[in-house]
Amino acid sequence: MQLSDVSVKRPVFAAVLAILIVVVGIVGFFSLSIREYPDVDPPIVSVDTVYTGAAASVVEARVTQVLEQSLSGIEGLQTITSRSRDGQSDITLEFAAGRDVDIAANDVRDRIGRVTDDLPDEVLPPEVRKVDADASPIMFLVISKPGWDRLQLSDYVDRTLVDRFSAIDGVARVFIGGEARPAMRIWLNPERLAAYSLTPGDIETALRSQNVELPAGRLESADQNVTLRVDRPFATAQQFAGLIVGRGSDGYLVRLGDVGRVEQGPENPYSAFRMNGNNAVGLGIVRQSGANTLAVADQVKRVANEMQPNLPEGMTMVVGSDDSLFINEAINKVYLTLAEAAVLVVLVIFLFLGSWRATLIPAITVPICLLGAFFVLWVAGFSINLLTLLALVLAIGIVVDDAIVVLENIYHRIEQGEPPLAAAFEGARQVGFAVISMTLVVCAVFVPVMFIAGQTGLLFRELAVAMIGAIAFSGFLALSLAPMLCSKLLKNEQRGRFAAWLDRRFQRLEGAYGRRLDGVLRKPLIALAGVGVLLGGAGVLFMTLQSELAPAEDVGILSVNVNAPEGTGYDAMDRYVLDVQAQLLPMLKEGDVRTVIARTPGGFGQSDDFNTGSYTVFLNQWGNREKTTQDVVNDINRMLATIPAVRGNASVRSSLGRGRGQPINFVIAGNTYEELAQARDRILAAAADNPGIINLDSDYKESKPQMRIEVDTTRAGDLGVSVDAISQALQTLLGSRRVSTYLDRGEEYRVVVQADAQRRSTEADLASIYVRSRTGDLIPLSNLVTTRETAGARDLGRYNKLRAITLSGGLAPGYSLGQALEFLEQQAAQSSEVTAIGYRGESQSFKESGGSILLVFGLTILVVYLLLAAQFESFVHPGVIISTVPLAVAGGIVGLAVMGQSLNLYSQVGIVMLVGLAAKNGILIVEFANQLRDQGRDIADAIREASARRLRPILMTSIATTAGAVPLMLASGAGAGARQAIGVVVVWGVSIATIVTLFLIPVLYSLLARYTGSPDAVKRKLEAQLAEHGEGAPHGAVPMPAE
């Protein structure tokens, strides 16, 4: 007994099953989280370590390598990359997908704890975060208040706001742009130090010994117990100025104010943040690896709204930029596309059947199937995102196919005179095998996708589950709800005028198709040659397609990075940033740009290098501007080309690019930086001649001005001066040293010692620095050291423990990421110095997603073939059906070429889907032809009648699928690039495959079917043999088909 038998006999039972699917689907829909993409971010942990004043080479040798050696070997670690810069070490560890990021972070902390004692004493404790060290903020909150300076504003933000936002679930860190954290700045005067016979070390010793707060025991008596505490009397600039640092020969007490200037100032004075040209402080919200951007952004906005009433009078806190706006808009657009697709599909069904009663049946199954898919996603622990919603848009055209096949067959039988109840019973039984076959085949298309490892597998997995859920429910409802509704709603009634006119046209079409098919069957070589031409032409077009990770989207936000020559000072760089800002601000008046955020320097956090600047340009809402994000990017790039002082480029951040702004991130690794620099120069020179690559630059530049100080160890040893004393004196006066702390309103701040700016600007200032000999005399540093000017690198990168250089750049319009990476790979292969290559950011995601899709495609075809072979009990019939797959893929490729699309993540998803969509038409024809052969018809008659009889359901299902994808192909606004890419493939692939399949399947069947028998041949042979021996026929033999 088939499912359709039960449903027709027990209509209430069928209705109850459908209602249950609706109920659990609604529960699942409202329980699902909403995000841009599935959770595909790999578990990433970063380790940031500050070593103030140390050169990049020292940081690499004494910090980065020590930590890397300890961190390597952690379970699940895939790649380890690092950057050693002047004063800072950043290490990023990427773990295998599926590794719990919290457990990974704990493992990292454990390994760091083992080597903490091996790090220099001056190194601050390493900070471990669950985020890429170079991750960009998803949102900027901009805080300003008239009348407050940067120090007051930054202090308020740090005390009051940072902790609130840091506590939000999913926030990895809160970066303060333009931070000026208060500190007690002690600006020493080297000449006055020498006059009082003091050294920088004496000042540090005095601060550490006198500015202390220690427990001093307790007073105990019979009645009470009193705790004693020594208060530190230094909290203000005046109090620190009175701190005694020495005693003169005449007994004069030398105070700190005698040898320097004491003031409360910013701990890091080298940071600027501006919004639309006005100074402000920005809070950059960086989400954790794997966190939901939409959920984090919504929480941040909620907390910001809660805090607004409590802000000081006149203070404003506004959203400067917000990545989540694009996600919301894109998801809303997909919901709209979902509704458009449903209307079009229902309209197509009505045009074919000409009856609202008949149209109502598949129209009812569509929302039920979609709700069932939401239930499956909820049970699987997935989310509503752009990919799952795109899957459901495409599913609209597919889920009605099964219902259409059942409905059309029952409708045809009613028109032949059968009562509706009997027609529903027999008609559903007749096509039951075809419906099950089609459902299993389309579901099988997505099974291999679920077992892919890495980011691609995670990305496709939710799409696959959504499709499998919707299609599985469509097959179930086609054999349960649809027959029951047909038995209740359909009647043998005369068609309306329009429906009758349309039916006559279809009858004429069927007749013309039958005549044309007869001609093709008589001369099959012509048809096969035409197919060969189509496949060959598609192959040629495929070679011309550009490849990229994802199509360019109008995301409404872009990044601009500018670089000045190495060694550029902070003041000079800030002037350059202001010059570029002056060119950007007029865009605010043009109506396309809402916000321009400028930062000097361009990185996040404190840095000893100032030759970078960055901008975040936030555009107006999509309906309130004429230019797309890419148009604005092109305008800015043309503007930057006219500014000679800086190099830079604008780019659109990809959500799949792991938080990095530049699309090109190509890593070359080798043994030494000197050898890699030679390869880098050759690659950069070749890239300069490639117009498709914009501003390709490297993170390794040995052009930063440096001054090497060489100690005369013999003379220093003779005088009793250690190299450590020389180094500390230099670091204190020319760098800066955090010597102590002080309390202010319950918060602890640092005391920073450094020479005044005017006394550390030239080489001659070294002569005013003194150190103490063993006899107590002061020795000028110039007597112990010699200097020489040189150049070195400020940034030393490593990739999987190899020394590495990362090349980063943008893409010219019309030039794809795949072309750029292929070009760079060819150049790297010609350099013997390069022992390994790697990728980061968007380039890494592109490479990971590109290779696995071919494996998925091959596995999909194999799984579908084996499934069909099992169903048809033949290895020939599945081959006939699978022959349609290359046609569908060829059609998709032709569509991509004609529409100017690229081969990207979304178009690849569409191509995989074509495997199942194309096979459905072949199943309908072959399965019915086999039924006719079982009735005794010869092969030629069987395939002619099957093709003509199945023409209408094939056209209905194909046009319904195409109609469901048309809104995707014609999409506009936020997220249109992704929708267009997948829509073009489905519309063109299904359309071309359907036209060619209607002739190719009959040709191949007529040529190959002679080598096959009926699927029931073995069963009939067994029945005959059992009958000969008197055993009788097996119980439950399947009755012969009605047609």
* Cβ contact 1040:558 at 8 Å: no
Instruction: Of 138, 143, 137, give the one whose Cα is nearest residue 275.
Output: 143
Please state, in angstroms and rounded to a whole number, the distance separating the CA atoms of residues 200 and 184: 16
**CB contact set of 892 (below 8 Å; sequence gap of 6+):** 907, 910, 911, 914, 984, 985, 986, 988, 989
* 345 CB-near residues (< 8 Å, 6+ apart): 366, 396, 397, 400, 960, 963, 964
Give the strand pairing for 612-619 and 557-563.
antiparallel
DSSP 473-515: HHHHHHTTHHHHHHHHH----PPPHHHHHHHHHHHHHHHHHHH
Q: Which residue has the tokens 């291999």?
A: 448
pTM of the model: 0.73
Return the number of other C-beta atoms located less than 10 Å from residue 915's C-beta.
25
**Whole-number Å distance between alpha carbons of 236 and 142:** 30
Are the beta carbons of 43 and 51 closer than 8 angstroms? no
Residue 807 in contact with residue 839, Cβ under 8 Å?
A: no
Tens-place pLDDT, residues 557-590: 888 888 888 888 888 999 999 999 999 999 888 8
CA distance 574 to 190: 29
Alpha helix segments (H runs only) across 735-791? none
Of 570, 648, 638, residue with least CA distance to 615: 648
Q: Where are the domains of the chain?
A: 3-37+327-489+504-549+847-1011, 182-218+229-266+705-792, 661-702+799-839
Rounded to the nearest 10 degrees, the angle between the axes of helix 11-31 and helix 454-478 is 150
Question: For residues 795 and 918, what is the distance between their CA atoms, to the nearest angstrom?
Answer: 53
pLDDT score recorded for residue 108: 92
Per-block mean pLDDT, blocks of 10 residues, the chain (1043 long) = 73 87 90 78 85 82 91 87 86 84 90 89 86 74 88 90 90 86 92 90 90 79 81 87 88 91 90 87 82 86 91 89 83 81 78 74 84 89 82 77 77 77 80 77 75 66 85 85 80 67 77 81 82 86 80 83 85 91 89 88 72 88 84 89 85 64 84 89 90 85 80 89 87 84 88 88 83 88 85 81 87 82 90 88 74 69 80 78 81 87 80 74 78 77 80 80 82 80 87 83 79 67 75 48 42
The reported pLDDT for the residue numbered 452 is 62
Assign residue 216 a region (left: φ > 0; alpha: ψ between -120 and 50; beta: otherwise).
alpha
In three-state secondary structure terms, 813 is coil
pLDDT at 1043: 39
What is the second-level CATH architecture of the domain 3-37+327-489+504-549+847-1011? Up-down Bundle (1.20)
Residue with tokens 């500390």: 728
pLDDT value at residue 326: 82
DSSP 547: B
Answer CATH for 182-218+229-266+705-792 from 3.30.70.360, 3.30.2090.10, 3.40.250.10, 3.10.129.10: 3.30.2090.10
The residue type of 483 is P
List the beta strands (DSSP E) in 225-280. Answer: 225-230, 244-247, 253-255, 260-266, 272-275, 278-279
Six token digits for residue 242 = 């009175």
**Cis ω for the linkage preceding 483 (within 30 of 0):** no
Cα gap 159→415, rounded to integer Å: 79
Could you give the count of Cα atoms lying within 13 Å of 736 in the half-sphere of its Cβ?
Answer: 24
- Residue 62's region, left for phi above 0, alpha for psi from -120 to 50, else beta, is alpha
Task: Give the per-residue pLDDT at 238.
Answer: 93
Collapse the DSSP code of 832 into the 3-class scheme (helix H, G, I; strand E, B; otherwise coil) and give the result: coil
Evaluate whether the domain defined by 661-702+799-839 bears CATH number 3.30.70.1440. Answer: yes
- For tokens 């359709």, what's the residue? 4
DSSP-based three-state secondary structure for 516 = helix
> Which pLDDT does position 880 carry in this prediction?
80
Q: Is the dihedral of CA 300, 305, 308, 309 positive or negative?
A: negative
Q: What is the structure's pLDDT at 107?
A: 92
